[in-house]
Amino acid sequence: MRLIVRVLGTWLLGVAVILLIIDGTKSLAANALVITSLGETWSGLHAESIASVRAFFATRLFGPLLDESLTALLDFPAFAVIAVPGIVLALMGRSKRSRLFMRHDRI
């Protein structure tokens, strides 16, 4: 289980780095700082799914609250939204072994 969590975290971090590189190349081309939001990235990949997710949230008990949360999440930078769960999963999947430190004169 720990291996799956760590691989998923590493994969998410890889996607976040790719999104950061895309933003970096756009910034170099525009000669200004360009940060792509998650909503823009999601719209570029599959725009119809955003409408279906919003429709799904609208039918739930806390629909307006969920819609505001989704709107706030979609306004954040895409690389940050992907990197945070990636870091959490990578840290959750690391081994629990204790580190043994030695002084240089004992080596």
N-term to C-term CA, the chain: 36
Residue boundaries of the structural domains of the chain: 1-34+78-94, 37-76
How do residues 9-63 score in pLDDT, each as one tens digit? 999 999 999 999 999 999 999 999 999 999 999 999 999 999 999 999 888 888 8
How do residues 3-24 score in pLDDT, each as one tens digit? 999 999 999 999 999 999 999 9
Residue 62 backbone phi and psi in degrees, to 5:
-100, 50
